[in-house]
Homo-oligomer: A and B are copies of this chain.
Amino acid sequence: MARFERETVSEERIEETRRLIREGDDAGLRSLLDAMRPADVADLIEHLDPKERLFIFDILEPVGAGEVLVEIEPPVQEKLLEDLDNHSLSEIVQELDSDDAADLVGDLPVHRAQEIIRSVDDEVSRELVKLLPYPEDTAGGIMALEFVAIPAHATIQDAIETIREKREEVENLYYLWVVDERERLVGVVSIKDLLLEDPGRRVSEIMNPEVICVHVHEDQEEVARVVKKYDLVTVPVVDDDDRLVGRITHDDIIDVLEEEADEDFSLMAGVMPQEITEESPVKISRARLPWLMAGLFGELISALVISRFEVSLETILALTFFFPVIMAMGGSSGTQAATVAVRGLATGDISLVNIWKRIWVELRVALINGLICGILLGAVVSLWLSNYALGGVVALALVLIILNSGFIGAAVPLAFKRMDIDPALASGPFVTTSNDILGLLIYLGLVTLFLKITT
């Protein structure tokens, strides 16, 4: 079949590559790589050792090498960039699309970035200088300069000629943007319409003036939300004067969405984004330790809480048996509420408009689940310790604990968002630890009160 087969990197493929590298078989390796798509070569490279990676990289032509390099996961990419010499790197940057080139050069140490900028063509270096100042997580930071704009008074035939001139430069072209005499964005035309309409007509007659655009300083998360909401395939970027300055395409948006989800997962658990391809245990450890430390010191407060109730625990040591249940129940229900809030804030499905509605839902859910879990745990405690009154008290405690942690789980991310702190941070150690402390306080407090009353 002529159709291009997709591929997942198999162990055989990795072994074959390793063998060719060991044998120094450049020709064999080249023909193997030539038959693969850049994204597949990137996958293959991620499975190899640093030295093998460099060997492969030396074999790729600059164009191909660039296409592969941008597909490689950040931690591996970073290491490769360190290992490549400036000459090879310049050649690669030269061939990349402007957004990819800027991303790559932007990640380099300043002096090296400057050397690369000096060594590439004037046009490429002008583009780099234009793109590099924008922060990475803004529309400007992810936009490319490869787009086609035409004046509104141009004819369709003019537009076609413009596209023809830029054919090589702008690879994936689905829309043409229309600008006025001051470069301001005034409309959009699909390539399909150019194809179907009479070439003599003016662009202004067939364009759609209702073009959705984003501002160059806008946050990439907001850009992704706009693209997703309005199902856009590409979105134009404008500056303060409404002048068209760049374009962002669907594949960049998919990357942003994944990056943002990665970030949320990472913040919630306290790991580094993209950690999966990181190979240095020290780097990983450094990223994870703050969360563990926060947990360690937070839970030492729990230890302090428990120590305050030593007398009750001496009276009924079995009360300590249920610490894990108490903590896990508060922890899980808090995490559930927090996860929904964090995810809702991330996808934009929850807006700050309906905070109280959300918290009210959470409280009712917590009441139902608290009652069910409370009754179950109460029954277990009653039977185990043969003390029905104590069972009742533990049941009540669990209801209150789940109510409390449901409230905290929902309220803290929303509060963090209001204070402009990433809400995903809230559902990590913050929510869990405070729920542990408060949960133990509620449990031991109620039980101690009960013991005081009954004795």
Contacts and interface: CB of A to CB of B under 8 A. Distances in A.
Interface of A: 1-4, 6, 8-11, 14, 37, 39, 46-47, 71, 73, 160, 163-164, 167, 172-174, 185-187, 190-192, 194-196, 209-213, 226-231, 233, 242, 250-251, 253-254, 257-258, 261-262, 264-266, 268-271, 274-279, 281-282, 284-285, 288-289, 291-293, 295-296, 298-300, 302-304, 306-307, 310, 313-314, 317-318, 320-325, 327-329, 331-333, 335-336, 338-341, 343-344, 347, 349-351, 353-354, 358, 361, 364-365, 367-369, 372-373, 376-377, 380, 429, 432-433, 436, 440
B429 A292 contact: no
Nearest to A409: B269
12 contacts: A46-B349, A47-B353, A250-B254, A254-B257, A271-B336, A276-B340, A276-B349, A292-B372, A296-B325, A302-B324, A303-B325, A320-B320
Given A332-B295, A339-B269, A364-B281, A1 B242 contact: yes
A298 B230 CA distance: 45
B282 A368 contact: yes
Number of copies: 2
A296 B373 contact: yes
Contacts of A163: 192, 195-196
A344 B268 CA distance: 15
B328 A270 contact: no
Given A173-B192, A196-B160, A285 B329 contact: no
Contacts of A325: 295-296, 299-300, 302-303
